[in-house]
Amino acid sequence: MSVLGPELVTNGDFDDATGWTEEFNWAASGGIADGKAHYLRTNTIGDGVDCIYSSVSVVNGHTYQVSFDITAVSGASITPILAGVTGTMRSTVGTHTETIIAGSSERITLRGSGSYEDTASIDDVVVKEIGIPTEIEEAIFYILRWDPTVSGLISSRIYPEIIPQNTLLPAVYYTQIAGPRQHTLAATDDMVPSRWQLTVVADTYTELRGISDALRGVLDSYSGTVGTVVIQCSHMINENDLMDVQPGTDKLRRYIKAIDFHIWYND
């Protein structure tokens, strides 16, 4: 389940220079060309020389996923800045992704730095709002996906009902076991005492245990508001190991653990 909003950057793949403003040390290297933006650290230093930027419509205090590619680099570093909030300095080739809570301006900036004649080229600048959960399923995904311990172990491999075929392991899927609605003579109570099962699938028991501990650490005794979903309380109530045995043998193919939680939330 994705909780990312639509792409907010216009021309983030640098088809041309449309929408971008290049300060001196970007323009000095030829600027935007060949589908990339190129940075060259010159002898010109100071404010107003090291940035390339474009307008984006973001909301102060909202959370966004920011990513960009460094396609080539020699000595230089690139730092993303979203709406005045500075992200992490990067200096290696690859795709760099992080979460930034936007400030009060409406601009995505890539700031170069380095020593004289250091260079870098960038591509595929992406800004997407991390969506506001409105359903309990989205809230569970959001809590797990953006917990640094859980995401460090399984990234975004968190799925409803079933893990898609050929998915890299380890991964987790979640299933609603029960969600009774309480009634009174006056109306339906909006408090739902639901039960959810998180199933961890891993190649080794060590991975299985580590991920299970991380899930328990996040959801056991959790309470809070996630988007518009108010979770009053969450408690782990059970866990058990399952077996996935290679047919015709006694060899385990995968290690599996099912963990049950009671989650009380306002519908």
Pairing relation of β-strands 85-86 and 158-160? unpaired
Q: Are residues 259 and 146 in the same domain?
A: yes
What's the order of all strands across the beta sheet hosting 171-178? 158-160, 171-178, 191-202, 252-266, 229-245, 222-226
Q: Which residue, 100, 130, 160, sits at the end of a domain?
A: 130
| Alpha carbon distance 142, 145 (integer Å) | 5
Q: Are residues 140 and 92 in the same domain?
A: no
Q: Are residues 145 and 124 in the same domain?
A: no
| Alpha carbon distance 196, 140 (integer Å) | 10
Which residues span the domain enclosing 31?
4-130
Q: Are residues 105 and 197 in the same domain?
A: no
DSSP 3-state assignment of 40?
Answer: strand
Q: What is the pLDDT of residue 85?
A: 96
Residue 177: Cβ-neighbour burial (10 angstroms; 0-12, 13-18, 19+): exposed
Q: Are residues 42 and 155 in the same domain?
A: no
Q: What is the pLDDT of residue 172?
A: 97
Over the chain (267 residues), the average pLDDT of each successive run of 10 is 76 96 91 95 89 92 93 97 96 96 92 96 94 86 88 90 91 93 68 95 94 97 90 96 76 88 93
50-65 in b/e form (b: 16+ CB < 10 A) is bbbbbebebeeeeebb
State the amino acid at position 148 in one-letter form: P
Residue 182 vs residues 186, 194, 234: alpha-carbon distances, Å: 11, 11, 18
Structurally, how many domains does the chain consist of?
2
Q: Which residue, 130, 159, 193, sits at the end of a domain?
A: 130
Q: Which of 154, 156, 155 is nearest to 170 (CA)?
A: 154
Q: Are residues 86 and 167 in the same domain?
A: no
Q: Are residues 97 and 153 in the same domain?
A: no
Q: What is the pLDDT of residue 237?
A: 96
- Would you say the pTM of this structure is higher than 0.85? no
Q: Are residues 229 and 125 in the same domain?
A: no
Task: With residue 211 as reference, give the H or E element that holds it.
Answer: helix 205-219
Q: Are residues 179 and 251 in the same domain?
A: yes
Q: Are residues 115 and 214 in the same domain?
A: no
Q: What is the pLDDT of residue 186?
A: 64
Q: What is the pLDDT of residue 184?
A: 67
Number of Cβ within a 10 Å radius of residue 184:
7
Pairing relation of β-strands 4-7 and 94-101? unpaired
